[in-house]
Amino acid sequence: MSFWQLINLIALALLVLFARRVWVRSQRPFPLPPGPKGWPIIGSVFDVPKEKLHVAYMEIGRKYGSDLLYLNMAGTSLLILNSEEAANDLLVERSTLYSNRPDFPMLFLMGWDFNLAFLPYGNRWRKSRTLLMQQFSASNLKTWQKPILQESIYLFLKKLLDTPKEFEDHIRFLSGGTIISSLYGMGLFNDPQHGSYLELAKKANQSIAEAGIPGTYLVDNLPLLKHIPEWFPGAGFKKKAAYERGFVQRMYSEPVAWVKRNMASGTTKSCVVSRVLQEMQDDGAWSEEKEDFLKMASGTAYSAGSDTTAVTLTVIVLALVRNPEILQKGQAAMDAVVGPDRLPTFDDEGKIPYVDALIMEALRWRPVAPLGMPHHMVSADIYKGYYIPSHTIVFANCWAFLQNPETYGEDVAQFRPERFLNPDGTVNSTVPYPNAAFGFGRRACPGKAFAQCSLWLAVASLLASFDFARALDKDGVEIDPSTDCMDGLSSCPPPFECSIMPRSKAVQRAD
């Protein structure tokens, strides 16, 4: 394709988009939801800042006095849901219309087309998700995953005791290592594969945070650009995608191949992949398609589990460092139930409301995905008297829900676990659990129960074992770590330093 042929093709695409917009506007029976009027062809592209989109969408929505915000982004319709009521009405009650995903040209160029979080709603998605939910059911959680979590926490505490300055790496080890061990049977202790696959997940996941938001790259708005060669001017995204694809494809296929080799040699440990493969073989039901579903399900859990839980746990450490009074309350609650001579176990789960409140507050205060994952409408809809065009991309703005002062109090900017508790210290069931942090409807996180268990044991163990405080600079002045999380589909705190000191003898016996 020559340069001028490409220019003509782009011009034709823009003309078609403009003509389609004019035609659709003449056909709709109700007005669009409130939002900026925008400019011809480019729409509201310049009305929205490039940073902190979740905050910008919340503030623009308030300007229009509506929990629905409509934006035309160069021909692509965006609908932002700024209330949990709207999100439940559309994404849950009308999930048949709203469970699809938009195209992710850049992510798919990177190789993420296997991941359930990005897959279109359909047969491949349903079968892979069903497999994943079966393997992380309540019974399997108790039989298989909780023992691994308990084993992982001891090694995590030992690492934290030995090298506390590397706490962020240790948190990634805990979240990623646990899921890798559960999925693929890789040993937690001195298994070289374990560390290498943790690093592989870290490298692969770095590409999601930026490219997972539609529109970040020009190719997301003009998918035809994915066909241009890498040498073409402005095609740097193709080189980046090819580089990232190497990590993503390894993440998808290598761990399952490793389990199959171990099964053949009789050295595999029981894990999700080995149990599913063995069941296929025993039933004579193995097929390449079913193994592909297994790769998709395990690869999705591998990438998500290596990142999301680690971010929330890092947020909790950040909050404990900045709020010593909350740390003291949490430690007192732990001591009252567990005492000073042992570490918490899952037998203690549900008996320490302050730990539950602390986790809920972390999910509310700094959600991992503040804008949520985009949904894609399969056909037009009418809601609250507004017309929502077909193929609209819909975001449930979790940030707006979880920072709503009408729901969580006027001090929503503050980290305060007590908002979830009654005066007597029990959990206040009238304050909504921050479920928005796990998504909505058929697209809600299938690993929610596993994540909740992981967080509970980790937070309880940290409170029982360590004191946290601000780090000191060279002059002995306390360093106040920032709470301004970095942008992206996955939002995490910037790296920070802190002081971590053991507070119980039990943690020194954890190894």
> For the segment 205-260, what is each residue's pLDDT rounded down to a tens digit?
888 877 776 667 888 877 888 888 888 888 889 999 999 999 999 999 999 999 99
Average pLDDT over residues 83-102: 96
- pLDDT value, residue 443: 95
User: In whole angstroms, how large is the CA radius of gyration of the chain?
Assistant: 24
Could you give the 3-state DSSP secondary structure of residue 414? coil
CA dist., res. 328 & res. 277, Å (int): 47
Q: Are 344 and 507 in contact (CB under 8 A)?
A: no
Strand partners, 81: 68, 396
Please give the helix or strand (H or E) that residue 73 lies within, else none. Answer: strand 68-73
Average pLDDT over residues 322-350: 96
- pLDDT value, residue 240: 92
CA atoms within 13 A on the CB side of 281: 9
CA dist., res. 295 & res. 299, Å (int): 6
**Site of tokens 């809600």:** 444
- pLDDT value, residue 13: 66
CA atoms within 13 A on the CB side of 116: 30
> Can you give the pTM of this predicted structure?
0.90
Q: How far is CA 199 from each of CA 222, 243, 494, rounded to the nearest angstrom?
A: 33, 16, 19
Alpha-helical segments (H) within 338-436: 353-365, 398-402, 405-408
CA dist., res. 365 & res. 349, Å (int): 23
Higher-pLDDT residue of 82 and 21 is: 82
Average pLDDT over residues 305-329: 95
Model confidence at 1: pLDDT above 60: no
| pLDDT over 70 percentage in the chain | 92
Model confidence at 404: pLDDT above 90: yes
- pLDDT value, residue 319: 98
Q: What's the pLDDT band for 76 if we cut at 50, 70, 90?
A: confident
For the record, the structure tokens of 267 come out as 């050295």
CA dist., res. 136 & res. 234, Å (int): 44
Model confidence at 395: pLDDT above 90: yes
CA dist., res. 98 & res. 109, Å (int): 24
Q: Are 68 and 79 in contact (CB under 8 A)?
A: yes
pLDDT digits (tens, 9 = 90+) for 466-486: 999 999 999 999 999 999 998
Q: Are 489 and 371 in contact (CB under 8 A)?
A: yes
Which of 95-104, 219-228, 256-265, 343-352 comes out lowest in average pLDDT? 219-228
The answer to the question of whether 445 is labelled as a binding residue is yes
For the record, the structure tokens of 360 come out as 């809920």
| pLDDT over 90 percentage in the chain | 74
Average pLDDT over residues 152-163: 95
Rounded to an integer, what is the distance from CA 14 to the centroid of its chain? Answer: 34
Among 116, 104, 106, smallest CA distance to 244 is for 106
- pLDDT value, residue 40: 83
CA dist., res. 488 & res. 314, Å (int): 16
Q: What's the pLDDT band for 487 if we cut at 50, 70, 90?
A: confident
pLDDT digits (tens, 9 = 90+) for 265-315: 999 999 999 999 999 999 999 999 999 999 999 999 998 887 889 999 999
- pLDDT value, residue 248: 92
Please give the helix or strand (H or E) that residue 14 lies within, else none. Answer: helix 3-27
The DSSP letter of residue 68 is E
- pLDDT value, residue 257: 96
pLDDT digits (tens, 9 = 90+) for 5-47: 666 666 676 666 666 655 555 566 799 999 998 888 778 878 8
Could you give the 3-state DSSP secondary structure of residue 199? helix
For the record, the structure tokens of 170 come out as 């240790």
Sign (positive or negative) of CA dihedral 378, 383, 388, 394? negative
Could you give the 3-state DSSP secondary structure of residue 437? helix
Average pLDDT over residues 443-462: 96
pLDDT digits (tens, 9 = 90+) for 116-142: 999 999 999 999 999 999 999 988 999
- pLDDT value, residue 21: 59
**358: amino acid identity, one letter:** L
Vertex 340 angle, CA 337 and 346, to 5°: 50
The superfamily (CATH) of domain 31-502 is Cytochrome P450 (1.10.630.10)
Could you give the 3-state DSSP secondary structure of residue 39? strand
Among 108, 172, 196, 183, smallest CA distance to 145 is for 183
Other C-beta atoms lying within 10 Å of the C-beta of residue 100: 21
Q: What's the pLDDT band for 458 if we cut at 50, 70, 90?
A: very high
Model confidence at 420: pLDDT above 60: yes
Vertex 281 angle, CA 279 and 282, to 5°: 65
**82: amino acid identity, one letter:** N
Average pLDDT over residues 328-342: 95
Q: What's the pLDDT band for 167 if we cut at 50, 70, 90?
A: very high
Among 305, 366, 18, smallest CA distance to 148 is for 305
- pLDDT value, residue 54: 93
- pLDDT value, residue 471: 97
CA dist., res. 7 & res. 35, Å (int): 31
CA dist., res. 36 & res. 65, Å (int): 13
